Amino acid sequence: MTTQQDLAFPRPLTFVDVVIFCVQESQLKVLLIKRKPSDKLPNQPQWGLVGGFVDIDKDENLEATALRKLKEKTNVTSPYLEQLGSWGSRTRDPRGWSVTNVYFALISPEFASPLQHGGNAEDAQWVTIEGSGVKYALAFDHHEILETAITRLRNKVEYTSLPAYLMPNTFTMAELQKSYEVVLGRSLEKSAFRTRVLSTDLLEPIDDFKLGSNRPAQLYKIKNRANAVFFQRTFKPV
């Protein structure tokens, strides 16, 4: 494993891709990039995930590459970021044996700076998730990766506080519940939701209310953005 022969092994191409989710207008969306057609990749669909090569001079580790890519596209610097896995094969990219290390990020669209359109050679866009994918064909194996990310997200939302990372700084209980419902694609029971969320150490009520033409709603913030909370059961037994 450590001979000169080994180090001379041909090395696969190494990428990092980031599946960036947000909830906007009651829809789960993913940030996709539309690239200009290229000589090297003539037959690839133009839409794809945010990503690129690891820059071994700039990037200390894989997560740094993911954060760099996220910052470039959204200007968000401290998202919820979790590794999804890696995909590597001889055929996934026509340029040769390649591996992509995939992260998924949850952000509040309020924190993302307006996405640049045109100008660049790239066009970034929030695209609505429909079922287990999007309406566009995606380059490489990005559709499979996106599907895995959606599945992972939906699974974890059943028993964690992940949707809290999709929220702005302060929000009401009903707004948080709505985020859960958007991701899960089904409605949840109000009082059970409330009891469960409040029984954990996730939220802190702040000294403010959201007003409207009805009873004011308590506003909350996340107690500790660094730690997701795990519940002991899923929301709905099958």
Q: Which stretches of the chain bind a copy of itself, using CB under 8 A?
A: 1-3, 6-7, 9-14, 35, 38-41, 51-56, 59-62, 83, 85-91, 95-97, 99, 101, 232-234, 237-238
Which stretch in 47-55, 76-84, 110-118, 168-176 sits in contact with DNA by CB under 7 A?
168-176
Residue 194 binding DNA, by CB under 7 A: yes
Written as six digits, the tokens of 53 are 């090569």
Closest by CA to 193, choosing from 209, 185, 182, 181, is 181
Q: In the chain, what is the straight-line distance between the N-terminal and C-terminal CA atoms, in Å?
A: 48
Residue 86 binding DNA, by CB under 7 A: no
Of 225 and 236, which CB lies nearer to DNA in the complex structure? Answer: 236
CB of 27 to a copy of itself, least distance (A): 27
The CA–CA distances, whole Å, from 45 to 30, 38, 76, 104, 125 equal 17, 11, 27, 21, 15
Of 41 and 115, which CB lies nearer to a copy of itself in the complex structure? Answer: 41
Phi-psi region of 185 (alpha: psi -120 to 50; beta: other; left: phi over 0): left
Residue 235 binding DNA, by CB under 7 A: yes
Which stretch in 78-86, 90-98, 148-156, 227-235 sits in contact with DNA by CB under 7 A?
227-235
Residue pair 164/176 in contact (Cβ under 8 Å)? The answer is: yes
Dihedral pair phi/psi, residue 143, rounded to 5°: -65, -45
Residues 6+ apart with CB under 8 A from 139: 35, 41, 44, 45, 46, 47, 48
Q: Which does 213 bind (CB under 5 to 8 A by kind): a copy of itself, DNA, none?
A: DNA
Q: Build a one-symbol-per-residue string for 195-224: x at contacts with DNA by CB under 7 A, - elsewhere.
A: xx--x-----------xxxxxxxx------
Of 149 and 182, which CB lies nearer to DNA in the complex structure? Answer: 182
The residues of the shown chain that bind DNA, judged by CB under 7 A, are: 172-174, 188-196, 199, 211-218, 231-233, 235-237
